Amino acid sequence: MIVSPSHETLNKLIRHQLHNLFILTDPEDEILTRSLTTTLAKTERCFRQSTNKYYRKDEEIFFSIYHSGQYCIFLYLLSRQVFLDNPKHRELADKIYYLNKTLNGLDLYYEISMPEAFHLDHPVGSVMGRATYGNNFTFAQLCTVGNNKGFFPEIGENVQMFSGAKILGRCKIGDNVVVSANTYIKDTDIPANSLVFGSSPNLVIKPKNSRP
């Protein structure tokens, strides 16, 4: 994977940002070093499944640390890797999570298990809560996934959430579902290969190949 402008700049940048916002201790710096290699490998696997033209350069996987969406995904993966490597010492994972929230306006906690490949576009104002997420999950700005009365969604593969969409509670979202902008799904199952819009309990569900 190409890291632009360089791996060295990435190492300096993440440490500079964390130290300026929260103060990075020497032990945390060592933890960061140990977790970075694994995180970059996971970042490459995630980006490899993206069809976005900005994730390729000269037929290689491309990670620009100044592409906010790419850096956003990297920071989530880093915070989660630090947590997985050091579950009893959460402060550094908290700092990276908070840094991501500060830079990108996204609430994606490191305890949330995202799939190997997930994608986002302008994620400002989105909250990805506890749920089961299938591979190639995609979301945009102002999206919410979360619980209702202690129940959490189960989201299949290749599900897309457009701007302002919400999935809450006891929901099973099938594979290849498109959740249209401003759709509100609560405690409702959505069959695979569907386009859904409107608000529960009055959702409109159509096969993806049909026209409104």
pLDDT tens for 15-63 read: 999 999 999 999 999 999 999 999 999 999 999 999 999 999 999 999 9
Residues 100 and 125 in one domain: no
Query: Of 55, 71, 104, which residue constitutes the final position of a domain?
Result: 104
211: pLDDT strictly greater than 90: no
Please write the tens of the pLDDT for every residue from 130-144. 999 999 999 999 999
Angstrom distances, CA of residue 150 to CA of 109, 110, 117, 170, 173: 18, 20, 26, 9, 17
**Beta bridge pairs of residue 139:** 120, 161
77: pLDDT strictly greater than 90: yes
Distance in angstroms (rounded) separating the CA atoms of residues 159 and 178:
6
Query: Of 74, 104, 134, which residue constitutes the final position of a domain?
Result: 104
Return the percentage of the chain with pLDDT > 70, whole number.
Answer: 99
32: domain range? 2-104
Instruction: State residue 208's pLDDT score.
Output: 86
Q: Reduced to 3 states, what is the DSSP secondary structure of residue 36?
A: helix
pTM of the model: 0.95
Residues 166 and 83 in one domain: no
Query: Of 49, 75, 104, which residue constitutes the final position of a domain?
Result: 104
Residues 133 and 100 in one domain: no
Q: Residue 60: is it exposed, middle or buried by C-beta count within 10 angstroms (0-12/13-18/19+)?
A: exposed
Residues 80 and 144 in one domain: no
Distance in angstroms (rounded) separating the CA atoms of residues 191 and 154:
12
